[in-house]
Amino acid sequence: MKRFLGLVLVALAAVAATAPAHAEDVNLNFYPFAPRYLDKDTWDPVENQYAFGGTVDFGKAGWPLHFAIGLHGSVGDEANFNPLVSGVTGTVNELSFGIAKIWTTKGTVRPFLSGGVSFVHAAADADLFTGTIDSDDDSIGMWVEGGVYWRLSPHFNLGMFGRMLTGTSITLFENVPGFEADGDTDYFEWGPMLGWSWPPKK
């Protein structure tokens, strides 16, 4: 997870650094903490995960819609699951592309709605008394995100968001009898968001 978080920061910083050269309106939003809820049938006992990520949207001044690129990840860990399993860890990492609509009001309020396609990588491992088993799988799904933030300074934003992913399909531990899990990485998450926007608010 630490490696993924580092990738999130590097990738978003790279996009944020290059986007203003080609765009006139840029919003970079970070999600420092969000509870993520996955399907219990697939992810038990790590269906409730800690999520972190960010999205940058950008476009020309006056465009009705922005392009949006995001990186998101989550991790769940459960110890002493049962007498045969001493620990289970699950992760879901996601690269998303889409479009975003930000409504500009006369004040500081900025409602937004976005959505598109996500490329998802899911992984899980379990510590058994006989050793560790692990599995991973990839999928593609559709994401939708919405929320509201406030421009508290010329550049700084603070707000809340909700996000969901749907339409994915994965299989974990398919070669391990008794541990097979056919399901998905569909989720819902929500939480606070911190943002930076360009150009500065006058």
Amino acid at 14: A
Domain boundaries, the chain: 2-198
Whether the link from the prior residue into 45 is cis, omega within 30° of 0, is yes
The larger pLDDT score, comparing residue 106 to residue 13, is at 106
Mean pLDDT of the chain: 85
Closest CA to 190 of 28, 6, 13, 32: 32
Cβ contacts of 62 within 8 Å, gap of 6 or more: none
Q: Is the pTM of this model over 0.85?
A: no
pLDDT tens, 32-81?
A: 999 999 999 889 889 999 999 999 998 888 889 999 999 999 999 988 66
pLDDT tens, 110-138?
A: 999 999 999 999 998 888 777 777 888 88
Can you name the CATH fold of 2-198? Porin (2.40.160)
The answer to whether 112 and 158 have CB atoms below 8 angstroms apart is no
